[in-house]
Every structure is written in structure tokens, then in C-alpha cells.
Structure 1
Amino acid sequence: MKNYKEILRLESLGLKKTEIAKSCNCSRTTVVNTLKRAKEYNLDWNKVKDLSNESIAKKIMPSHAPSVSYQMPDYEYIHREMAKSGVTLGLLWVEYCEQCRESGLIPYKQTQFNKYYRDFIHKTKATMHLEHKPGEIMEVDWAGQKVTIFDTDTGNSVKVSIFVSVLPYSGYAYVEGFLSQNQENWITAHVNSYRYFGGVTRILVPDNLKTGVIKNTADETIINKMYQELAEHYGTAILPARPYSPKDKATVEKSVNTVSTWILAALRNQEFLSLREFNEAIHEKLVDFNKNEFQKKEGCRESWFEEEKNYLIPLPEKPYEPAIWKTATVQYNYHVTVENKNYSCPYEYIRHKVDIRLTGRIVEIFYRGERIASHPRLKGHSSQYSTLKEHMPPNHQKYSSWNGERFQKWARSYGINTHAVVNYFLTRDKVEQQGYKSCMALLKLSDKYPQQHIEKACERALSYTPRPSLKSIQTILRSKQEILLTENESKEKDTSSQYAFTRGSDYYSGDDD
């Protein structure tokens, strides 16, 4: 131990710090620190000359004082808290220090605190909470084994793919069969899993299937657009397993094997005539699977899940609705065509490529990530149009309120032939609205041609066929056949009146008088 008493004595004699260090066989830094601490505690030679060197050390250098008793943390409590999402050893050490100060006890430093925790883990073999925290991860995968069911309509056998999702902390699992591993079924399986668990984990760990992950390398991860939408809707983050690294999702790999043993093997001798019947049988076995007691620890998956479900993120008000993304070019009629249905978007985007998002109810059109139009999804097999007035050019908007009755009223004002053509346009298709486009085109011809010309062109077209086309009427008008017809008839009539003479009955009597 340093001779602190002698340092204070020599200092009182006026010696320099270097001289004191040489005399006490210590460093000059020790002398400086000793005098500094003595000054902080308002100690000088007159106050300490009757004290022992050990007593002086306790006052000015507590670290050199004899060892004291530290408060041992409750590492069972620490271990339980570590299982909670967002909790770290650093945070628990700060809380431990605060508790010690409030109780007047001495806490361990953080390095010692962490060492004792590692010793606790090693002795108790309590590693489960270190690897997985409740409500943090859901791992998903398709089982390698498929099940055969029989289609009662065709009599053919059908292969069923098995989807498995697992919560690693509790081992709680969800299983469902699907007729294919396409993207829609992949998304539906996740939605059903979240519904079954009653909440959402903070992280989702899939394999690198193309239905979920487009690209996953050390430098870049690209998630499928629909899959990313699912994650955003449920507030979770997708962290795909590293390629060729099964340890990244060891729990789901193990659970897939366990499920195959527990559920699929138990159903191997049963025949199923529908997917629904098969999934009902799976659900019954799944309940038993989650209630089966663990062999190496207390409880079962269901009992551990009772604790874990309190840490899940609440489900959103509405489940995610799977969407299909397509790309199209806006046509000159300011519509995009999807599955033989036509949806309008602002005419400014004509000839631009747009992204189209289709759900069961809605069709949304996006340009460079910004939504520019939204329509209810049209149903049926025939071609249909969904057009919003605000999407039309100004010169088209004045025609937007037209319907079948109004088209016929306009046609009657032009004449019986125009009315006959319009009536044919409105009745030739199964849906009246399909003829609006031709009627509108005929109506717009009135901007260029007189009323009597359009009526006469319709008459000429009807003389050719009872099923005239708009194109034939336009051709007649362009060639001015209706005008020539009118002019020729007028000339023939005038010529007949001007040069005709009447021969009397005497001329044809045969008399020579």
C-alpha cells in the first residue's frame, strides 16, 4: 500500500512533488492524485497525523480500502427479463444499479455482472430464452412431403402441399394444405397463420422461394412486391434465411419433420375426397401436436404459447387481401385493359406504362409509385368499361352523361335511319353499355357533317346490310356518296320535268289521219 500519510507529511514541509515521489518510492502521478483527493476531502497533515496509513487510505482512496460485499443480482429474474423483446443485459445492469443505490447496497460493475450471468446460463443450461424471445420471430416453409387426395368430380388423385409456420420461442405451430405453392396460396397461408396465432411477430423468416423473395445475396435483398405489402400491412419485417444456411431456420426445419411425424404419418391410412376434409383432419391433429408435453422441459407448446401471445403485435382491423400486380400501357382512349376489362386513368398518362394492383374488390393504377386511379373491380366474362369523368379530356367530358335512352332520343331527332343504326348498336351486344362507344362515335360525326348527310349515310348503310358498322357509315360520309345520291336524284327529277312531253291517246291509236 502506498504511504499516503508520509506523502501528506512531506507536502506539509514544502517539498516538491518530484522530491516527495522520490522519497516515498512512488510515481509523481501517485503524489498528485493523493494530494488532489486529500484536498477534495479537506484533509491536511494536521488532521491526519494521528491516523494510521490504512485509515487515511479509506478516506482518500476508497479503491485501496479492504474488499467490501457486493449485492448479487437475481439472475433467474434477469434470465426471464432477457426473454422479452428489446431487453438487453446493459439495460438490466442499469436497473440493477438503481435498485442497489436505493437500497444502499454496492452493485457489481457491468463486466462482472455479465460474467456472472454467463456462468448462470452455463450451470443451468437455460439457453432457450437466449436464442429466441417471445413474439419476436415466425418461421415459415413448405414441407417437403406432399399428401395425395382424390377429386370426386374427376376421380383423379391430386397432390397437396403442406404449409408450416412456427413460433420458435414456444414451438407453437400452424399447418394447412394447399393445392399449389403459388403466390396467392403463399400469402393466404400467412394470413391464416396470423389469424390462428391471434397476433403478429416482429420478424418473419421465410426460405428463399420466388413467391416471397426475388433476390437474396450478401449485398442485396429484394422481397416480392405482394409479400412486402403483406409485411407492411401487419407491421412485421421480412428477414429471409441466408441461402444454403439451414441453421438460420433450424426451428422450422425441425418442426416440419415433427409435423410430418405427428400429423401426416397419423393420417397416412386415411383417404380424403376434398381439400377441406383434409384440412379439417389436419386441424384436429394440430391441436394434439401443440398440446403434447415436451420431453426435455416442462410444459407443452400450448402452455408456452400462453406466455408468448402476450408479446405478439395485435392484428390489424382487417386481414391483408392478396393483390396481383400487372404492368400495362395507357391506351389512346385513356384506359388500361386488364383481364378483358377496361379501367380509366387521367388522360395525361396516355402511352405511359403504369403498374396495376388487383385485389378481389379493387383495381388501383400506379405511376412511378403514386396512385393515379382506383376503381371497383369489374366482374363477368364480357368486356366492360369503368370510366371516371375526371379522367376524360375536356372535350370528352361533355358526353360523359350519355346513356342508351339519350342516344336514342338524339337519333330520332336525326331521322328513322339514324335511329335504326343507333338501336342496332345498343342491342347487338349482351350489355347495352358495350354499344356506347359506337354511338358516341356516330354522335361525334355531327361535329363534322350536317344532320341530313348523317341520316342519308345511315340509310345507304342500311340498304347494304341490316347490321351496319360504324366504319361503313364513316366511309360513306368520307366518299360523299350520300351527297352525290341526293344531287343525282334531284337532277333526274329536274330533267324529266323540263324536257318531257305528253303523247295523247290518238298517237297510240294507230290512225294515219
Structure 2
Amino acid sequence: MSNQTIGSIMVREIIRMKEMGFSMRKIARSIGKSRTTILKYITSIEASDLSFKELLELTSEDIYELFGTTQSIASSNTDVIQKELLAFYPYVEKELKRVGVTRHILWDEYKQKHPEGVMYSRFCESYRQWSKKSDGYMPVAHKYGEKLFIDYAGKKLHIIDRQTGEIKPVEVFVGTLGASQYTYIEASFSQQIPDFITSVQNSFFFFGGVPACVIPDNLKSAVTKADKYEPFVNEQFARFSEHYNTSVMPTRSRKPKDKPLVEGAVNIAYTRIYAALRNTEFYSIGELNAAIKVCLEAHNKSPFQKKEHSRWTLFHDNEKACLKPLAIEKYELRDYKTATVQKNCHVYYSPDKNYYSVPHTLIGKKIKMILTQSVVEIYHQQTRVAFHSRSRKAFDYVTLKEHLPVNHTYNLDWSSEYFINWAAKIGANTKESIEKILLQKQYPEQNYKSCMGILSMAKKVGNQRLDNACKRALLFDAVGYNPIKNILEKGLDKLEDQVKLFYTIPIQHENIRGSEYYN
């Protein structure tokens, strides 16, 4: 048996025992070699970039070629083969960025051109050494259309308020595609969710397509809770990515090597954009972004250092076609709210001060409201249970008849607008009292019944007395059905003049100068 065969068998055994979890001491004892020798083999195995399964599937010739000698490829191959490899590797680097292209496919192409060339394992090991950077890390070969790295520059730009002269700092958003490094930059007022999502969306339209994955830093607008394995993506941003059919994969905290491209793009922005604009004053965010756009175009069209092509040519020749198509409609920002279904089969949305109906079977249940500028969606346990057009009227009830039980449909015509219009016909004080009652935090039916009871009093006492009673109730901050009823029953509404006199007659005293003193 040849030394090559014996060496291959020994390496296979080391790989197999390592995969089974044996310690180095046990492997050395079983193989009959020192632990130092076993350590050298294991170090070479782990540096091969191949899994244990892939290694065990290699031929004996490949295994011996990969681990049977400690000499580098430069000394193990002839000068001719070495030159052929070095000439072929720039092509490998470029082609690995294409979707579906693997090292094995490229090795097949290499062997077709050079039948006497090295085997696959040596081809991979040599390429790894050729690609290695000075800091010991191999650059990642990003696929075209695969990743968009996004971040904010640490240093800010600014605009000037024309009226006050105030200098307002602005954030600078940077996004760069992984394969072509084609870059988008814009200024925005903040890193908050609306500005952040708008910037990412603008980058998609700048590229004319959507990458398969967006890789943000762990800023709060993108990630609500950082985690090494499964970070929690902000719900608004998650909905945005769903709308554009892309994924979000945040980088690890305090790991700049996860996003070297965008870090580099930020540094380049300082020299090619910040420096170019340093002596120009801008008075609006639009002016600033227009100037950034000019500098950005020049940056993208500048050739890479020591290369003939630019970001622009790589993008338009290769990456643009690999991006996913844009959504038909732009993403619309949403508001999210959790609420409990009230006994009147409605949920309350406090910013607009109005209500939306929900099926009566969900009374007392927790639901989630998702509101855009035009519609309201209501979900219970990830199932949509209601869909309404969004109302902007205060006190409005947006109701579907089928949501209500049969015994609730008799007063379906009642609404806040109905009672406010009725009260306005009686008097301004009555209208103000009704609006105040409708703002009270109680069940709408109770509010409506109180309004009905107060407005019905006009039939007995007349509009004027009811309006005077409401005025008195407002004066003493005692608006309600019972207070107004008591005022009318006791005739206190007729004392309106005395109340006015009490509050308007000035106090006479020698120490009070009076208004004439200041004339």
C-alpha cells in the first residue's frame, strides 16, 4: 500500500473521529500519533472551508493532495500551473457573485481549459489563500441582487432655517448593494420610523428593484430587540419588507465585520460628498439632497481603485437584472394599536376620537388595529375580522350592521353627528354640553341615552330654557343629564342674570386701583 493511500486513510479516520466528538487525546491514542501531529491535521481540516461530510466524500487523491503535505500550492505545483491559477482567479471572483454559480462549477470550467490542472480541493484552498486579505479575513462573495446593506453616517450634515438662521442637523442615510457596491445616499430629518422607511423605500426606487435581503444595523427603527441569532424586527419595518417581498437580516451588535461594505460607503461619503459640500449652505432638505445626488452620481461612476470598471457599470451590466420587481404601489405607513372590544361591539381609536365596529362575538376580546391613511383593518389572533374606511370625524361611529346583535340594531341611526346637529338647533350652550358628554369615557349607548334625555327636555321647557340650563351646567362644570334636569326642575336656569351679575360686578376697595388707573 502506497504512502499516499496510507495518508488518506489516516486523514479520513481523523475526520471521522472528530465528527463523532472524540477528544484530541483519544484520536491520538487511536491513530498512534502524537497530539501535536493530530493538532496540525485538525487545524488544516478546519481551515479547508469544507464540512466533515464534504471531506469524507472526497477521493483519496484529493484528501492526500489537500492534507498530505504542508507545502503551499506555490511549491507543490509547477510554475505554469500556478500562473494559470492566478490568471483564472479574477474570473472566479467575478462569477461567484452570480446567482447559482458555485466553486465546483468554476473548477469544472478550469479543468476543461487546463486538464492537467489541480484537483478541486487544492483549487479551493489556493483560491482561499489568493482571496485572503491582510487582516486574515476572506472577502465575502456577494451574489448579484442578494443583499442591500443600510446604515446612517455617524457624522451629520445640516441645513439653515431662512427665517431664524438656526442650524438644523440632519441625518445621512447610506445604502449599498453587496455585489456591485452601487450606493444610494440621502439626507433626512431623523432616524425615526417614518423617515427611516421612506429612505429605504427611496433607495429601492433609485435602484429600480428590490434586493432579496435588507441588512440594517441594530437601530431602533429597524430592530426592537437585538439578538445574536433571532433579533426582533420592528413591526412597521417587517410590514414594509413584506410589502416589497424582501427579507430583513440585522447585523450582530458591535460586529462591524458584518457590514464592511456600508461602513466603507460611509467613509467614502465623507470624502466624496461631505468634503465636496463643505463650503455650500443649504436652506432646505430638498436642496441638500439635490446636491448629494450630483456627488453620488460622480461617486458611482468613478472606477474602483486598480480596476477599470465602476459601481455604475457593475450595477447596470449585472446586478440590476437580478433585483426583484418593485411593488405596484408604494408602501403606506401604518399605525398599530391594541384595544379591547367594548360592549357596544366597537373599538376606540384615541388619536381620531372615533369608533369602529367589530363582530359582537368578540366583545371583551383583545384585538389589533392596523390603520393606514385610508383604511382600518382589525385582527383577532392573526385573522382579519373587520375592514373599514378610515374616518377623520371626532365622535364618529363607523358601523357595519352585521357586526351588531339583533337587539342593538334599533338605534343604528344614532351617531355623534346626529346628536350634535340636533343640539345646534337648540342653542350654542346645548351643543357644547352635548359635545362634552360625547367625550366622556363610557359606553357610547350610555352617552347617546344621556344626549337623548337632555335634548328631549326641550319639548317640555322650550329651547331657550334648556340652553340656559346647559349654560349654567357648563359654568359650574356639571354637565350631565341629572344636573341639567335638576337645574330645570328647580328653576335655576331663570337665575342666569344673577349668576352673571355675581361674576361681572367689580369689587370696590380702596386698595384696588381699577381699570381707569391704567388709562
Please classify the TM superposition score into its range, dividing by the shorter chain length.
Answer: 0.5 to 0.7
> In structure 1, how many angstroms separate the alpha carbons of the residues matched to 2:333 and 2:447?
38
Give aligned-pair identity as a percent: 34
User: Equivalent residue of 2:305, what SS?
Assistant: coil
How much has 1:440 moved relative to structure 2?
A: 5.0
Report what 1:336 is aligned to: 348
Task: Map residues 466-485 of structure 1 onto 2, 5 A cutoff.
Answer: none
- The CA deviation string for residues 211-232 of structure 1, in whole angstroms up to 9 with x for no partner, is 1112232343211111111221
Please tell me whether the aligned partners of residues 273 and 292 of structure 2 are also in contact (alpha carbons under 8 angstroms).
yes
> In structure 1, how many angstroms separate the alpha carbons of the residues matched to 2:449 and 2:193?
42
Q: 2:151 aligns with which of 141, 145, 161?
A: 141
- 1:286 maps to 2:290: no
- Give the aligned length: 393
> In structure 2, how many angstroms separate the alpha carbons of the residues matched to 1:383 and 1:405?
7
> In structure 2, how many angstroms separate the alpha carbons of the residues matched to 1:260 and 1:185?
21
> In structure 2, how many angstroms separate the alpha carbons of the residues matched to 1:121 and 1:386?
65
Cα 1:197/1:219, change in 2 over 3 Å: closer
Please tell me whether the aligned partners of residues 83 and 130 of structure 1 are also in contact (alpha carbons under 8 angstroms).
no
User: Equivalent residue of 2:327, what SS?
Assistant: coil
Report what 1:366 is aligned to: 379
How much has 1:369 moved relative to structure 2?
A: 2.5
Consecutive unaligned residues in structure 2, runs of 5 or more:
3-60, 62-83, 491-519
Report what 1:352 is aligned to: 365
Please tell me whether the aligned partners of residues 461 and 468 of structure 1 are also in contact (alpha carbons under 8 angstroms).
no
> In structure 2, how many angstroms separate the alpha carbons of the residues matched to 1:168 and 1:228?
21
Report what 1:251 is aligned to: 261
> In structure 2, how many angstroms separate the alpha carbons of the residues matched to 1:128 and 1:427?
73
Task: Map residues 84-483 of structure 1 onto 2, 5 A cutoff.
Answer: 84-90=98-104, 112-119=119-126, 131-306=141-316, 307-333=318-344, 334-346=346-358, 347-379=360-392, 382-401=394-413, 441=449, 455-456=459-460, 462=466, 465=469
How much has 1:403 moved relative to structure 2?
A: 7.7
User: Equivalent residue of 1:254, what SS?
Assistant: helix
How much has 1:408 moved relative to structure 2?
A: 12
- The CA deviation string for residues 287-324 of structure 1, in whole angstroms up to 9 with x for no partner, is 11111121222211100111111111111111222223
> In structure 2, how many angstroms separate the alpha carbons of the residues matched to 1:367 and 1:425?
40
> In structure 1, how many angstroms separate the alpha carbons of the residues matched to 2:480 and 2:94?
84
- The CA deviation string for residues 392-438 of structure 1, in whole angstroms up to 9 with x for no partner, is 332232332468999899x9xxxxxx9975998679889xx99x989
Please tell me whether the aligned partners of residues 83 and 129 of structure 1 are also in contact (alpha carbons under 8 angstroms).
no
Cα 1:425/1:287, change in 2 over 3 Å: same
Cα 1:316/1:458, change in 2 over 3 Å: same
> In structure 2, how many angstroms separate the alpha carbons of the residues matched to 1:172 and 1:429?
61
How much has 1:96 moved relative to structure 2?
A: 6.6
Please tell me whether the aligned partners of residues 341 and 385 of structure 1 are also in contact (alpha carbons under 8 angstroms).
no
> In structure 2, how many angstroms separate the alpha carbons of the residues matched to 1:353 and 1:231?
26
Please tell me whether the aligned partners of residues 96 and 107 of structure 1 are also in contact (alpha carbons under 8 angstroms).
no
> In structure 1, how many angstroms separate the alpha carbons of the residues matched to 2:213 and 2:391?
36
User: Equivalent residue of 1:465, what SS?
Assistant: helix
User: Equivalent residue of 1:302, what SS?
Assistant: helix
User: Equivalent residue of 1:398, what SS?
Assistant: helix
Cα 1:402/1:125, change in 2 over 3 Å: closer
Cα 1:321/1:308, change in 2 over 3 Å: same
How much has 1:269 moved relative to structure 2?
A: 0.8
The CA RMSD over aligned residues, in Å, is 4.7
How much has 1:167 moved relative to structure 2?
A: 0.8
User: Equivalent residue of 1:317, what SS?
Assistant: coil
Cα 1:218/1:180, change in 2 over 3 Å: closer
**Larger CA Rg, structure 1 vs 2:** 1
